Amino acid sequence: MGIRQTKGRGRLFDSVLDTVGDTPAIRINSVAPDHVTVYVKFEAFNPAGSVKDRLALNIIEAAERDGRLKPGQTVVEATSGNTGIGLAMVCAAKGYPLVVTMADSFSVERRKLMRFLGAKVVLTPRAEKGFGMYQKAKELAEANGWFLASQFETPDNADMHASTTAQEILGDFKGERLDYLVTGYGTGGTVSGVGRVLKKERPDVKIILTEPGNAALVASGYINTRNADHQPTEGHPNFEPHPIQGWTPDFIPWVLQEALDQGYHDELLPVAGPDGIAWSRRLAAEEGIFTGISGGSTFAVSMQIAERAPEGSVILCMLPDTGERYLSTPLFEGIPEDMTEEEDALSKSTPGYQM
């Protein structure tokens, strides 16, 4: 094989926002069972590093189109981080001030990334969970006349996945076998938008939905109450804190309700946070794919499916983000800053440049 060559994308981009989407489906070569083929749709290739860049862009542009968002108006949203980072990128590119509300339990680097992109971050007590940061965003919007992005309710969320994510999957697997799609949920936009399209265009594909085992809201059968605007009016009684940041707020979002009501998922499987961490580490060390705990958790369930899937099955796993926004989380526990004994021995094995 000769040296790899590239030719550019064949176009010039007017804005960073034009680079959202068209993320690659990448084959897994080392850690998947031999009798199946596994691909990951690696959303870290989005410009701000996560799948939430998609909904962030469409929430703002749809609101611009229909006049809900006025020039220069402040945008406010509650987020565990990825949507806030995506919104910060979009708002920076378009010139909107952004205020994010976020529980103080989420990783410090997420706050710094949003502030680096020009956003203001208002922290809420971790004891109030996702519902608390959500209520704070509503209060700020109502008190100041700000535009509430409403990622958990707006149809602009799932619509974006129907028009981009789902279309990319159809295009990449055109004429190819695809048996399973595995995804978790935060807002539910991915499973609702992609499910809406795949159930029509590729009904043979089984959609596997996963959620944290200790915060199994969908599996509980209980749907939290909502107001006339489809906003939650209570936290979900089955929620417990979990390490899979970005997944499963302490309520079932209205956006997810479409997938539940329409039966878009064929199976629901729980996953333990430590399993997600373990698989994220394996993807990095054995595949060179650097994803966060949510990606590792989705991949953990994909491996469960792979073990029992018939010979020749093809599985596509959604990887929501990059691992770099988890540096202060349990994902990086035990990763040393200083040299290990083995590294120190390597240093001392030659005479020069020793610490």
> In which element (H, E) is residue 103 found?
strand 98-103
- Block residue for tokens 């369930």: 301
Query: Which one, of 237, 254, 234, lies nearest residue 185 by Cα?
Result: 254
Q: Are strands 98-103 and 120-124 parallel, antiparallel or unpaired?
A: parallel
Interatomic CA distance for residues 304 and 38, integer angstroms = 12
Q: Is 183 helix (H, G, I), strand (E, B) or coil?
A: strand
Q: Which two tokens stand for residue 302?
A: 């994909």
CB count in 10 Å sphere of residue 171: 10
Report residue 62 CA to chain centroid gap: 21
Chain CA centroid to CA 279, Å: 16
- Dihedral (CA of 100, 106, 107, 108) sign: positive
Cα–Cα distances in angstroms (integers) from residue 43 to residues 20, 47, 131, 288, 298, in the given order: 10, 9, 26, 15, 13
* Alpha carbons 60 and 81: distance in angstroms, whole number: 17
Instruction: Confirm if 59 and 115 have CB atoms less than 8 A apart.
Output: no
Active site residues: 52, 294
Give the type of residue at 129. Answer: K
